[in-house]
Structure 1
Amino acid sequence: MWFAPLLLLATSLIHPSAQQDGNYTAPYPYATYPNGTSPNPAASVNAEFSPPYYPAPWATGAGDWADAYAKAQAFVSQLTLTEKVNLTTGVGWEGERCVGQNGAIPRLGFRSLCMQDSPVGVRDTDYNSVFPAGVNVAATFDRGLAYARGQAMGSEHQMKGSDVQLGPVAGPLGRAPEGGRNWEGFSPDPVLTGIQFAQTIEGIQSAGVIACAKHYIAYEQEHFRQSTEAAGFGFNINDSISSNVDDATMHELYLWPFADAVRAGAGSVMCSYNQINNSYACQNSYTLNYLLKGELGFQGFVMTDWQGQHSGVGSALAGLDMTMPGDTLFNSGQSYWGANLTVAVLNGTVPQWRLDDMCIRIIAAWYYVGRDNTSIPINFDAWTLDTYGNEHFFAKEGYGLINEHVDVRQEHADLIRQIGSASTVLLKNTNNALPLTGKEKFTAVFGDDAGDSPYGPNGCSDRGCDNGTLGMAWGSGSANFPYLVTPETAIQNEIVSNNGVFQSITDNYAGQQIQALAGQATVSIVFVNADSGEGYIDVDGNIGDRNNLTVWDNGDVLITNVSAICNNTIVVIHSTGPVLLGNYSNNPNITAILWAGIPGEQSGNSIADVLYGRVNPGAKLPFTLAESREDYGTDLLYIPNEGTGAPQVNFTEGVFLDYRALDRANITPVYEFGFGLSYTTFSYSNLQVTRVLGLNSTYTPTTGSTPAAPTYGTITNNTADYQFPSNLSFVPNYIYPYLNSTTLSTAANSSDYGDNSDVPANSQSSSPQPLLPAGGGPGGNPQLYDVLYSVTATITNTGKLAGEEVPQLYISLGGPYDPKVVLRNFERLSIQPGMTATFTADITRRDLSNWDTTAQNWAISSYPKTVYVGSSSRTLPLSAILS
């Protein structure tokens, strides 16, 4: 029968094996340090093996999840085994209308959940908005704008019928500036990322859509993230890259924003493609069971990245709750779960409580965000923009209305324009060259990045090219533009409305014409960019990750040629991350430099608002702009280093990323993290630190045990109950939960499938389990968020224009292996000329703690702690010692 391949992989793919948690014959080699001190990265060993941690914690409805859990328990108690398996397993790539859907439960009127990209909008549809990228949201340093963007994106997903928005992103964090998907996330600083990550999640879920926090964890480059993908680019490797991270670095850097996400109530988390310490992220029992579900108390569900599952039983016992898109390889018709999970539960390899917990987590997230009240039918199709077509795109079955072309944009263009300008960082402004008036005698605009793509804004699939202005980078994190306002258009409109003279050249290689026009202009505005994206697309030899940190498409030559002739040259950079600015900051003919990031559909209007003074820039750099690539101290792996084995990347730099690295090496950046100018000026004074609980307040490790694992409903052992229904209309390559044999050994294609001898120790236990010392609630031990100090400072606008300033609070933790300072809080303030505003920030226990690898808990060291307040990581005029 055609559906037999569903069960061919039972032994090799779903049976647990030693690879599931690495070769853990030796103790886990995380470096350990005396209690209360901070780690010395130079002493760190390579964390090459990931320790086993079982059983998978069962969620309890902690925090504000109690009501959702009660509803989920009532729902799941009604389900049959195959209905439960249907909830956990995707139906296959292109099997339904969304980029991912699990199985439905028609008997209870529960349609399959629609999982849809992306972190900037609704991917692969029309009449949707394209929002600024996460890196822009970070640059705003504005919590309110992060929330508003999340809410607006969530509402568009909700109106399209999407249940889960596959975003936002905190992985990659941004370990290396060349990382291809750094722009989808926020910043290499974990606090800035964590705050904007959490605000975005709360915004999305306020609109009644489940947010999916991704990619968990230590997913820091595109090269070698999947062995099959790497093969397509000529690399012969057998396994995906392994990010080898020590315990303290994991907690103080990469896990930090995910703790904020869990505390914010994230309904789902997506595990990543890479391995962590040589165990795949979607079957890594330490990162899923111990860290995420145990220590952080995550109550939602874990789903795979698409094709990120590498085992069946192994991943189930290691804490995975949903597999996407369901098939082992796209359109293969085979699954690690589906019918294989049905067999695994029937023969006892996967206990019922583990399957029930998967389902409870999925349904609880659905209730938690109010999908029972906000869900509407899916009205789009991710595989085509045609109005009529096949509901099952790959199988070419189910012809009918698939795209209703619902316009979900509302008034979001105004918000997108606002965020675009609020995220534009003014880096240089010699003699108040900006703002412009629009009445300049002759304005010239230069650069491919200023104009339209010859293919149109959506002419390259998933934005996989760099033609025209860079409003969106490439990959699954993209969305289709309804339009793209280019800088050329917006500036031309500005000049024409003032009856001025405007000309432009958008061919970066038109040297003779560029020089001639620059010689006529009284002001020249040069637009350049640097693009990147996801690793399945190669753009000009950049396989997702950037090959270098220079601007693209002859941009450096363009800037040099224009500025050599025009003594009033303004440079605008659209980029996915840091770029090398050469001597632009010191070139007297370059009077202004702005970084505008990846601003979305309103790109031109946003930059024009800043250039012409309708918006006074207040953004700050969410990363450092260094003199050289080497100054960052980290880089990507571009060539496999283990032959055909899994490439290995050792995160030996520890917590020293970006500004922390330059501070440690005493390297002066071109522009530091947190830097950004305004058209006005500000002064800082009157730092006040109020002791609330203080450094010596009591912190109690969590103790006690969980309840025993609950089960919901009864599963019969009669295999006849789980056969394909006689009235089922089979869809080719669709993933079903049903068996094609009443004999388990035949159904599983393995005579010894029921042998549990290789199942990891304790993985099937339903007994009460000890609570972790650093756990105790969503986000970790609740006492970590106790306020120990309250800080205020006076910020005065000493200029002549109303403006916005971002006071930033940094802490020196004082230890010999701690960074010089670490960001811990910030606030964006609007201040009228001559007026003052009060910056207010709290310092929590977590803010002052290091991770103690021996106690497996957070601890405040005995080293002196100093608080700093200023306008950037290197301009900190106010300080006080905490006592």
Structure 2
Amino acid sequence: MKKVLFTAMFAAACTMVGAQTYLDPNAPVEARVKDALSRMTLHEKVQILHAQSKFTTPGVPRLGIRQLNMADGPHGCRAEIDWNSWGYANWNNDSIVAFPSLTCLASTWNRDLSSVYGHNVSEEFAFRGKDIMLGPGTTIARCPFNGRSFEYMGEDPYLAGEMAVPYIIAAQKNGVACCLKHFFLNNHEVNRMTVNVNVSERAVEEIYLPAFEKCVKQSGLWTMMGSYNKWLNVHCCQNDSLLNGILKKRWGFDGAVISDWGGCHDTWEAATGGLDIEMGSFTNGMTADNSQGYNTYFLADPFEKLLREGKISEDVLNDKAARVLRTIFRTAMNPKKVIGKQCSPDHYAACLKVGEEGVVLLKNEKIKELKNASILPLDASKYNKILVVGDNAVRNMSEGGGSSELKTKFDISPLQGLKAVYGDKIDFAQGYAAGRPMYARVDEVPAETQAKLKAEALEKAKDADLIIFIGGMNKNHQQDCEGGDRLTYELSYGQNELIAELAKIQPNIIAVMYAGNPYATPWLPQVKALLQCWYLGSMSGEALSNIISGKVNPSGKLPITFAKKKDDYPCFQYGEEGYPGVNDQVYYKEGIYVGYRHFDTKKVQPQFPFGFGLSYTTFKYGKPTVKANGENFEVKVSVTNSGSREGKEVVQLYVGDLKCSVDRPVKELKGFEKVSLAPGETKVVEFTITPRDLQFYDEQSHQWKSEPGKFKAYIGASELDIRGAVEFTL
């Protein structure tokens, strides 16, 4: 009898398990979500909407639904953080590959490399057991002082969107969710938690939303991070107009919105404003309220109380819970999620490749002593003693920067990379000291220390045949770092003066600058070459030495405009109201004229234009042609490598409206292709101009529209270096 009863109970249990669709890894995600929701209590649904530690949210243990594990990105998986504090856990096995900064990735203008980046970096997240990578970022570079610009992809929404989409697709294919950030208008760090951004509807639609929209619609983005700032006087992490109105309803986003850490401020607004997962609020889980801990979050007990009182519909809760479950089944409980790997040879190879293609050659002067050849690539046989000067030659650039700082297994410094190629010919002088990377404060270096380092460099310069100055910015506070903006457009630590004095002693100077933002270059006439390196990650030194030695031909192009002086940027032309704001209100009075749109249309000459970058070879463009194809227009142009070295060229398509009822930029980026060409080789590059490419946002009708008339397609090697143009009529 007992045996019969046990058999019946066992059969019933098996039937019950079989009916649990949410546990069937092969069932469609939506079926799993619907089934799990039907089995969860109201309390369990609330629980999965907020943190249970610094970087995890709970699952549903009773039902076997796993928690979500997150980690900062987007350039690598951040070192393990303590459960309830911001301290590092000091693991021995969380050292990773630091991939180049996203400004560097954008500088490659190479969609295929973006996919390689997303695949490789997500493997490291997967191996560490992470389900959500907090990145990438497509916030527009409005202000050259922004401490987080190095985490983003430049000033143009088309370029940023095109480069982010392949990254996200590749990462999510591995079962790791990308959390695109920061949505939106997080264009500077000063007063980021309180500032309200006043911006025109047209600028929102044409400049600040398109990259995010493209990622949602073309990559199938799984999670989005709200920004700290306010828009329409409501914090973006709980902004109904932004999160429900635009993101979820208009764009059809079916994923989860995650707050930036501490970005949630109110239970009612968070509940009704579209936030799905609340992270990093006022409590650290223990000391702020050790009787409640994470249950004191806005979307925890206070939200549950409103639900049980009937003040908020349970439909709101179910929508949020469904989005979180959808994320869990796409990641933590995704049977196709990769195991991944960490610090593998192919990861370092990908890091190196992105770095090599992201370096931008900005100047390369011809030298009489070299029979009128350019100083780069550097022929070691022409020099007996090469002096490397600069703090960045030996600095670990993976450290600092705020939440994107990384703990690496190793980093090849620029000095190490150059010594590996040029050996004993290399001597080194630090020249200046930048201090330790600290968050929210500056490590001041004594003036006497700086003077001593400078004197040493100037003395060594007397014996040098060539100087390679390796400087720029770093990831210290008020350099390129979260939580603070730069204070000046000039380089810090007395670098401008040091370069000028070195040039008086030895005029053969190659300047190498690491930075995530543009900067003033008053010493430009005094140096023979300038390389913009961004932050190149773990393989920094090898990438740099490969470019300098000529092993690799530089092919990077600027994703941001370098102005001659700070006040040339439009954000600085309206006083403090334009940046950083007055009384927590900032006004984007330049409207759509951000970056090159301003410089081009207002006829302000930049130091280096958007899309600019030199090569060790030359490229000749043919005459472009345009032909209507249904609603679209097809543009073709031939490009020939007219030099003696193999190289890659970024062919850029800009489109201008020749006559319109509203002000429009002279031209806007609408296409680009990176082509590799052997000496003498010719390839035909084709572009498609769609109806949307010709439209502007009309604030009267609140719609996108285009007007019949003449347009012009510009083909260029940069925004200013136009090699051909052709008109067409809509």
Q: TM-score, normalised by structure 2?
A: 0.85
> 1:244-295: per-residue Cα shift (whole Å, max 9, x none)?
1111110101101011110111101111110012111122111111111122
1:363 and 2:325 are equivalent in the alignment: yes
2:486 alignment counterpart: 546
The answer to whether the Cα contact below 8 Å between 2:223 and 2:258 also exists between their aligned partners in 1 is yes
Point out which structure has higher relative CO (alpha carbons under 8 A, 6+ apart): 1
Is it true that 1:148 corresponds to 2:116 in the alignment? yes
Matched residue, 1:244? 198
Does structure 2 retain, via aligned residues, the 8 Å contact 1:164–1:211?
Answer: yes
Which residue identity lines up with residue 124 of structure 1 in the other structure?
A
Looking at structure 1, the residues matched to 331 and 634 of structure 2 have their Cα atoms a distance apart, in angstroms, of 32
1:479 matched to which residue of 2?
406
Q: CA deviation at 1:643?
A: 14
Residues in 1 aligned to 2:28 and 2:279: alpha-carbon distance in whole angstroms: 27
Instruction: Report the alpha carbon displacement of residue 325 of structure 1 after superposing the two structures with TM.
Output: 3.1
Q: Distance in 1 between matches of 2:480 and 2:639?
A: 47
Question: Which residue identity does 1:153 align to in structure 2?
Answer: V
Q: 1:330 to 1:819 in 2, by over 3 A?
A: farther
Whole-angstrom distance in 2 between the partners of 1:212 and 1:170: 11
Match of 1:256 in 2: 210
Residue 412, structure 1, aligned to residue 347, structure 2: yes
Between the aligned partners of 1:186 and 1:839, the Cα distance in structure 2 is 24
What is the alpha-carbon distance in structure 1 between the residues aligned to residue 135 and residue 345 of structure 2?
A: 21
Which whole-Å deviations, capped at 9, do the CAs of 1:340-390 have from their partners, x for residues lacking one? 22222222222111111112122223334684215699x9xxxxxxxxxxx
Of the candidates 106, 113, 136, which is equivalent to residue 168 of structure 1?
Answer: 136
Inter-partner Cα distance in structure 2 for 1:111 and 1:369: 10
Deviation at 1:104, TM superposition (A): 2.1
- 1:111 is displaced (CA, Å) by 2.0
Correspondence for 2:627 among 690, 701, 707: 690
Please list the CA deviations of residues 302-339 of structure 1 after superposition, one character each: whole Å capped at 9, or x if unmatched. Answer: 11111111111222111111111355677533211212
- For residue 185 of structure 1, report the CA deviation from its aligned partner: 0.5
CA distance in 2, matches of 1:522, 1:672: 32
Match among 674, 689, 692 for residue 843 of structure 1: 689
- Give deviations 1:63-119, integer Å, cap 9, x for gaps: xxx94323322222221111111121112xxx3xxx421122111211210121111
Going from structure 1 to structure 2, the CA distance change for 1:130 and 1:532 (only over 3 Å counts) comes to closer
% identity of equivalent residues: 28
2:159 equivalent in structure 1: 192
Q: CA 1:874/1:131 → structure 2, altered by over 3 Å: closer, same or farther?
A: same
State the partner residue of 1:600: 537
Task: Please list, as runs of the form range in 1=range in 2, the aligned pairs for 1:190-229 lying within 5 A after superposition.
Answer: 190-226=157-193
Q: Secondary structure of 2:180's match?
A: strand
Question: How far, CA to CA, are the matches of 1:184 and 1:309 in structure 2?
Answer: 22
Specify the alignment match of 2:376 in structure 1.
434
Aligned counterparts of 1:594 and 1:330: Cα–Cα separation in 2: 46
Instruction: Identify unmatched segments of 5+ residues in structure 2.
Output: 1-26, 81-93, 367-373, 433-449
The residue number in structure 1 matching 2:231 is 276
After superposition, the Cα gap between the structure-2 partners of 1:645 and 1:100, relative to the gap in structure 1 and judged at 3 Å, is farther
Using structure 1 for the length normalisation, give the TM-score. 0.71
Tell me the distance in 2 between the aligned counterparts of 1:338 and 1:204.
30
| Structure 1 position 444 matched with structure 2 position 395 | no
C-alpha distance 254-336 of structure 1, shift in aligned 2 (>3 A): same
Contact 2:75–2:98, Cα closer than 8 Å, also in 1 = yes
Structure 2 CA distance, aligned partners of 1:444 and 1:875? Answer: 34
Q: Is it true that 1:80 corresponds to 2:5 in the alignment?
A: no
What residue identity is the alignment partner of 1:85? V
Paired position in structure 1 for 2:334? 372
**What 5-or-longer segments of structure 1 have no aligned partner?**
1-65, 227-239, 380-405, 458-469, 695-787
Partner of 2:463: 520
1:845, CA displacement in angstroms?
Answer: 2.5
Q: How does 1:625-640 map to 2 (within 5 A)?
A: 625-635=562-572
- 78 and 541 in structure 1: CA distance in 2 versus 1, 3 angstrom threshold: closer
Alignment partner of 1:601: what SS? helix
**CA separation of 1:407/1:683 partners in 2, compared to 1, >3 Å: closer, same or farther?**
closer
How big is the shift at 1:638?
Answer: 10
CA distance in 2, matches of 1:473, 1:692: 51
Q: Write 1 or 2 for the structure with the bigger share of helix.
A: 2
User: Is the contact made by 2:480 and 2:515 (CA closer than 8 Å) also made in structure 1?
Assistant: no
2:277 matched to 1:322? yes
Could you tell me which residue of structure 1 aligns to residue 419 of structure 2? 492
1:48 maps to none
Give the counterpart letter for 1:427 in structure 2. L
Aligned counterparts of 1:844 and 1:416: Cα–Cα separation in 2: 34
Deviations for 1:34-89, whole angstroms, at most 9, x for unmatched residues? xxxxxxxxxxxxxxxxxxxxxxxxxxxxxxxx943233222222211111111211
Distance in 2, matches of 1:685 and 1:267, equals 42
For 1:533-557, what per-residue CA distance to the aligned partner results, in whole angstroms no more than 9, with x for missing partners?
7xxx567999621111212222112
Q: Indicate the residue corresponding to 1:870 in structure 2.
A: 716
Residue 464 of structure 2 is aligned to residue 529 of structure 1: no
Does the Cα contact within 8 Å between 1:850 and 1:861 map onto a contact in 2? no
Say if 1:365 and 1:109 are closer, same or farther in 2 by CA, change over 3 A.
same
1:646, 1:169 → 2: CA distance?
27
CA distance in 1, matches of 2:481, 2:109: 33
Q: Equivalent residue of 2:528, what SS?
A: strand
Question: Quick check: 1:178–1:636 contact (8 Å CA) kept in 2?
Answer: no
Contact 1:166–1:211 (8 Å) recurs in 2: yes
SS in 1 for 2:147: coil
Quick check: 1:659 aligned with 2:614?
no
SS at match of 2:538: coil
Per-residue CA deviation, residues 446-501 of structure 1 (Å, 9 max, x unaligned), is: 1111114xxxx4xxxxxxxxxxxx456511022212222111111112112xxx52
2:612 equivalent in structure 1 = 675
Q: List per-residue Cα deviations over 1:759-808 (Å, max 9, x = no partner).
A: xxxxxxxxxxxxxxxxxxxxxxxxxxxxx222221010000000000000
Quick one: which of 624, 627, 637 aligns to 1:793? 637
Q: For residues 678 and 119 of structure 1, do their structure 2 counterparts lie closer, same or farther at Cα, with a shift above 3 Å needed?
A: same
Question: 1:326–1:804: structure 2 CA closer, same or farther, 3 Å change rule?
Answer: same
Q: 1:350 to 1:543 in 2, by over 3 A?
A: closer
Question: Deviation digits for residues 185-221 of structure 1, max 9, x if unmatched?
Answer: 0101111111112122112112210110111111111
Kept in 2, the 8 Å contact 1:170–1:193? The answer is: yes
Q: Please tell me whether the aligned partners of residues 637 and 684 of structure 2 are also in contact (alpha carbons under 8 angstroms).
A: yes
Equivalent residue, structure 2, for 1:336? 298
Question: Are residues 532 and 503 of structure 1, via their aligned partners in 2, closer, same or farther at CA, if it must alter by over 3 Å?
Answer: closer
Distance 1:572 1:193, change over 3 A: same
- After superposition, residues 104-119 of structure 1 pair within 5 angstroms as 104-119=59-74
- 2:517 maps to 577
CA 1:472 to 1:253, structure 2 compared with 1: closer, same or farther past 3 Å?
A: farther
d(CA) in 1 for partners of 2:649, 2:357? 11
The separation in 1 between residues aligned to 2:644 and 2:552, in whole angstroms, is 14
Partners of 1:530 and 1:550 within 8 A in 2: no
How far apart are the structure 2 equivalents of 1:250 and 1:408?
A: 40
- Name the SS of the counterpart of 1:512 in structure 2: helix
Distance, in Å, in 2 between the alignment partners of 1:362 and 1:636 is 44
Q: Which residue of 2 aligns with 1:31?
A: none
Change (3 A) 1:646 1:204: farther
Judge conservation of contact 1:170–1:214 (CA < 8 Å) in 2. Answer: yes
Give yes or no for the alignment of 1:507 onto 2:351. Answer: no
Equivalent pair of 1:523/1:568 in contact (CA under 8 Å):
yes
Q: Is the 8 A contact 2:399 2:407 kept in 1?
A: no
State the 1:407 CA deviation.
4.2
Q: Which moved more, 1:641-650 or 1:551-560?
A: 641-650
Give the distance between the partners of 1:409 and 1:87, measured in 2 at CA: 34
Equivalent position to 1:136, from 99, 104, 111: 104
Native 8 Å contact 1:183 1:576 kept in 2: yes
Question: Could you tell me which amino acid in structure 2 is paired with residue 354 of structure 1?
Answer: V
1:837 is displaced (CA, Å) by 1.4
Q: Separation in 1 of the partners of 2:580 and 2:561?
A: 34
**What is the rounded CA distance, in whole Å, between the counterparts of 1:421 and 1:538 in structure 2?**
27
